[in-house]
Amino acid sequence: MNDVVARIAQRSVAKRESGYADEVRRLLDAALQVIGERGTTSRPRVADIVRASGLSNDAFYRHFASKDALVAAILEDGTHRLTAYVAHQMSKESTPEAQVRSWVSGVLSQASEDSAATTRAVLWNAGALTSDTLDGPPSASGPLAALLREPFTELGSPEPDVDTSLAAHAIVGALSDHLWKGTVPGDVDVERIAAFCLRTASRPGACPSE
């Protein structure tokens, strides 16, 4: 293959990839919109999502084998967005204590009135997913725990991987409780969970390693 042929072929591939990326984003955004509108009363059909996206069935099945595969992708995309948001909020703080509080506040913000209904609806739809559809556990706790590793280490955690995992599971559980109860966490909730996380980070001993 000469240089001209290779260059034109690469340009064509780049255009196709850009177009496909746009299709995926439109499908994800449309699905999130439809799921949010349906709430926890009914699950949307592929036809509903395709119609909202302005694309075709062919475009949908070019990227997703099923509606469940799309819901799994929404979970993954949501985890990436939440993790990026929380990381940005933490980057504004200069001390590990403040970073931990920012982490707690950022995660619990998903239960705010603006976000709660859609987040709850996505989790409700995700309840029907199977292990064949998911690439990993349907939880944001892993990526969220990774954000705490540095501040926990600075705070003296003897086992940061264990301690951050415990903290992440605790806050995901607290978030889930607020979502399903329809309650909005306040400053007292943030401070209580932050205090728990800080105690976890600075615990004096460590569990024996296996």
pLDDT at 202: 84
pLDDT at 7: 65
pLDDT at 1: 57
pLDDT at 204: 62
Q: Does pTM surpass 0.85?
A: no
Tell me the pLDDT tens digit for each residue of 98-137. 999 999 999 999 999 888 999 999 999 988 777 666 665 5
Tell me the pLDDT tens digit for each residue of 34-82. 999 999 999 999 999 999 999 999 999 999 999 999 999 999 999 999 9
For residue 145, is pLDDT > 60?
yes
3-state secondary structure of 60: helix
Q: What are the structure tokens assigned to 91, written together?
A: 């980057």
- 3-state SS of 179-195 is HHHCCCCCHHHHHHHHH
Whole-number Å distance between alpha carbons of 38 and 121: 8
Tell me the pLDDT tens digit for each residue of 72-99. 999 999 999 999 999 999 999 999 999 9
For residue 172, is pLDDT > 90?
yes
Closest CA to 74 of 19, 113, 36: 36
Residues 144, 168: contact at Cβ < 8 Å? yes
Find the mean pLDDT for residues 163-190: 94
For residue 138, is pLDDT > 60?
no
The model's confidence at residue 207, banded by pLDDT at 50, 70 and 90, is very low
